[in-house]
Structure 1
Amino acid sequence: MNSADLGRRVGVPSTALFTDQYELTMVQAALKAGTAGRRSVFEAFTRRLPEGRRYGVVAGIGRVLDAVENFHFDDEMLAFLRDQNVVDGPTLDYLSDYRFSGDIWGYPEGEVYFPGSPVLRVEGSFAECVLLETVILSILNHDSAIAAAASRMSAAAGGRGLIEMGARRTHELSAVASARAAYIGGFDTTSDLAAGFRYNIPTVGTSAHAFTLLHDSERDAFRAQVDSLGRDTTLLVDTYDVTAAVRTAVEVAGTELGAVRIDSGDLLLVAHRVRQQLDELGATGTKIVVTSDLDEYAIASLAAAPVDAYGVGTQLVTGSGHPTCSMVYKLVARASSGDPADELRPVAKKSMGAKSSKGGRKWAARRLDEDGVAEAEVIGTGPVPAELAGRQLLVELVRDGEVVAREPLEAARERHIAARAGLPMSAMQLSRGEPVLPTEYV
């Protein structure tokens, strides 16, 4: 396994200021009170799935590990905190030596999750754990939302190709993270070269309408593209008249033309007409790619169309209506000291309404029915029942501050395919409904 398989992490800047100020002020107050070193357990979870979603997808774990490794305060950052009077001198001294030295367990990337699932468990002193809250949540909430949208689109596509092409519809850094999450969720390629470079995701791209408009005729544009990129290229055929463009495309490239792309109009109707025309012209192997503001519902509506691949942008990188999965990061257990032998005591927020949480250091397992299909997400704080011992979901990610579970992105992608396949068939329905698995606490 080479470094490219795991993602290029060279030159990654410190993530220490990707946080909220109150994380630092809590550390200051805890240091003064003598409680900063108390052994603590934090968990990241969501109280509910986005409305109508049947399951969530864990994505961003690899990026979380990068963020934890690179969470340290350099001299310039410390000077900023000092100049802005964010924290006092003793706290600056603590931060200057900060390196996470605890343990992290979590659902492996690509796994599915449900309300209450302890997606990530962070253990260490209160101070070192609480500082990681914001950066962990910002990664998990974004990436898991995109992966969930991608998974729904992948299920709707039914094995047809999926191209992530949303870079121009989001922040430039979010675009890279979105492409990574989309690949985990089932997309095959990306148009974003930064994502291809950093994470070794296959990249694709040919031309836009501007290239056709640049030339004196559509034929000239097609000829220039074929001469440069070969007959296997994808020609964009809806700049002017689709029927004329398809005829010209085959005349220029021959029946070996790789694909045509349709980016507007009634995609269902146009795709059928283009397929018929291509076949009549002898280009029976030429594929049809459709784009134009697609989401999982539009993809599902094209199931009967002769479409070979879908290109998705805006709806994917915005989570198809749910740009976050509302994960939270809560203290669930703590000791009275930093002594590893000191007993952990469950703690939990007891406020009224939906914001209460369940205390205790949790394990999670997925119970299967007699046919091997998942039937419940089981979460507990005591001994793991013998029948669930082999079905536990959390894996060790960081031990004593050292990452122990890096893996190729392809492994997360394959894991998601398997996890989704293990859910009840109703998980694939796009109609609104409750989580496909109930969460049981024992």
Structure 2
Amino acid sequence: MAMSTALLTDHYELTMVKAGLRSGAAHRRTVFEVFARHLPGGRRYGVVAGTGRLLDALENFRFGEEELTFLEDKGIIDRPTLEFLADYRFSGNVYGYREGDLYFPASPILVVEGTFAEAVVLETLILSILNHDCAIASAASRMTNAAAGRPIIEMGSRRTHEQAGVAAARAAYVAGFASTSNLQAGRLYGVPTAGTAAHAFTLLHDSEKDAFQAQIDSLGPSTTLLVDTYDVAEAVRTAVELAGNKLGAVRIDSGDLAVAAQEVREQLDALGAFHTRIIVTSDLDEYAIAALAAAPVDGYGVGTSLVTGSGVPTAALVYKLVARETASGRLEPVAKRSVGKPSRGGRKEAYRLLDSSGHIETEVIATSGAVPEGGVPLLHPLVLNGEIVGREPLEAARERHRTTVATLPLDALHLARGYPAIPTEFI
């Protein structure tokens, strides 16, 4: 049985349910929406990621005996709340942008319809998954664009929480990374995995030659040899001597990568290893990748910057109540009026307008029920009457991202801070 996700939530979610059950308001129909008021870090667009993980987590959002005992023993819930939670099954509807799609400020990337009690308890779970995965995918997309077709391996597991490393590998793959070093991401999500050896393997052996020979004997001459433990030029000579022109790749993990790559390329060609690729690692981010565009580099490995969102570790998404049922049974808009944190009330639909060349022109958010002419609907059913209907293969999200990014205007791919690439209009 899968582990319950019910306690991956905040204390106040359950105290609101407790108070709502007492007042009678807990069973009122509501609509919550997830959106970003702005794109953090001066990003030009955001990437939707984590939808598949969220659906899995929602399916396992159940309060079992252990969870209920903990909550009751700590005095967090009373008997009526315990009885409600013991029978909890989300029975409402969830609509969302498809995973891999893009979003902009105010895009309602997730819409949750249900009673207040059954919808409010999902807030923390939804935001923790989407804020993390959207931030990682948004950073990964910038890196993929900067790499201009050269593959990137995700290798940041050792720089973050162990479960965050798995989620980051998945999100990076959605946004175009070619593979990951994380085996759990490979097992759970089918993300291709890759990896060969670290400096420790070279240091273990009596000589670099012995280390390279052991790796070649084990993995074959098409392996990737790490050449900067000692002297790079000497390591490259040894690598080609042992593997010949079948040597798959060499990896450089330190120094001036552009200069080192040029020198290694010239040396490999002089030794006849014309098809041996050059992979570079060492604290890369999208800016460093872009700076290496003219260097003879064939692939990149990115770790720390990827799993930390390249300086933007959260997508700044919020989960807000936008409509509630009145005493008369009518659904009416509600909105915060807080200074600096306003929201727009009412259940929304989202559409995307494309120009004659198929490029994105405008994001349209409709609260009036109007459908813009030619608008492509962005909200799709993920859960209907409590039943999950929106699961899809991870490859579908990856392909969606690739094709959707291609519809952005070219200036949207600039790495400099700027305004959102696409305007959002409300109708």
Q: Please, what TM-score do these two structures have when normalized by structure 2? A: 0.99
Name the counterpart of 1:290.
280
Does residue 173 (structure 1) correspond to residue 155 (structure 2)? The answer is: no
- Structure 2 match to 1:367: 353
Residue 385 of structure 1: aligned partner: 371
Aligned residue type for 1:427: A
Answering whether residue 390 of structure 2 is matched by residue 400 of structure 1, we say: no
Aligned residue number for residue 346 of structure 1: 333
The structure-2 alpha-carbon separation of the partners of 1:48 and 1:129, relative to structure 1 and needing over 3 Å to count, comes to same
1:22-43, CA deviations, whole angstroms, 9 ceiling, x for partnerless residues? 1000001111111111010000
Q: How far does the alpha carbon of each residue in 1:364-385 deviate from its partner, in whole angstroms, 9 at most, with x for none? A: 1111123221111110112233
Q: Distance in 1 between matches of 2:370 and 2:255?
A: 56
Q: How is 1:32-181 mapped onto 2 (pairs within 5 angstroms)?
A: 32-181=22-171
Distance 1:132 1:377 in 2: 27
* Aligned partner letter, 2:370: V
Q: 1:420 to 1:291 in 2, by over 3 A?
A: same
1:413 aligns with 2:398: yes
> 1:64-96 CA deviation, whole Å, 9 max, x = no partner?
101111101000110111100001111011000
The AA in structure 2 aligned to 1:238 is D
Structure 1: gaps spanning 5 or more residues: 1-10
Two-structure CA RMSD over aligned residues (Å): 1.0
Deviation at 1:158, TM superposition (A): 0.1
Matches for 1:267-346 after TM superposition, within 5 Å: 267-336=257-326, 342-346=329-333
Post-superposition Cα deviations, 1:246-290, rounded to whole Å, max 9, x if no partner, equal 000000111100000000010000000100100110000000000
What SS does structure 2 have at the residue aligned with 1:355? coil
Paired residue for 2:409?
424
Amino acid at match of 1:41: V
Offset, 1:191: 0.3
Aligned to 1:5: none
CA distance in structure 2 between the aligned counterparts of 1:63 and 1:215, rounded to whole angstroms = 42
SS in 1 for 2:153: strand
Aligned to 2:13: 23
Counterpart of 1:315, as a letter, is: S
Distance 2:338 2:85 in 1: 32
2:196–2:224 contact (8 Å) kept in structure 1 = yes
Amino acid at match of 2:416: S
Q: C-alpha offsets along residues 38-68 of structure 1, whole Å, 9 cap, x if unaligned?
A: 0100000010001210000000000110111
Aligned residues: 427
- Displacement of 1:439 in angstroms is 1.0
What is the DSSP-based 3-state SS (H/G/I as helix, E as strand, rest coil) of the residue aligned with 2:9?
A: coil
Whole-Å separation in 1 of the counterparts to 2:188 and 2:90: 25
**Residue among 346, 358, 362 paired with 2:344:** 358
CA shift for structure 1 position 388: 3.8
C-alpha distance in structure 2 between counterparts of 1:98 and 1:383, whole Å: 32
Q: AA paired with 1:434?
A: Y
Deviation of 1:386 after TM superposition, in Å, equals 4.8
**In structure 2, C-alpha distance between the alignment counterparts of 1:242 and 1:186, rounded to whole Å:** 30
Cross-structure match for 1:4: none
C-alpha separation in 2, matches of 1:304 and 1:15: 47
CA distance in 2, matches of 1:283, 1:79: 65
Question: 2:390 is paired with a residue of what secondary structure?
Answer: coil
Q: Which amino acid in 2 is paired with 1:373?
A: H
Q: Is the counterpart of residue 253 in structure 1 residue 239 in structure 2?
A: no
TM-score, reference length from structure 1: 0.95
| Residue range with higher mean Cα deviation, 363-372 or 83-92 | 363-372
CA distance in 1, matches of 2:371, 2:8: 39
Give 3-state SS (helix, strand or coil) of 1:348's partner: coil
Distance (Å, rounded) in 1 between the aligned partners of 2:372 and 2:96: 21
- How far residue 200 of structure 1 moved from its aligned partner, in angstroms, is 0.6
Q: Which runs of 5+ in 2 are unaligned?
A: none
Residue 435 of structure 1: aligned partner: 420
Residues 351, 372 of structure 2: 8 Å contact kept: no
Q: Which amino acid aligns with 1:203?
A: T
CA offsets 1:176-207 (integer angstroms, 9 cap, x no match): 00000000011000000011001011000100
Amino acid aligned to 1:439: T
Distance 2:372 2:347 in 1: 19
Deviations 1:77-130 (A, max 9, x none): 101111000011110110000010000000000000000000000001010000
| Aligned equivalents of 1:21, 1:99: Cα separation in 2 | 19
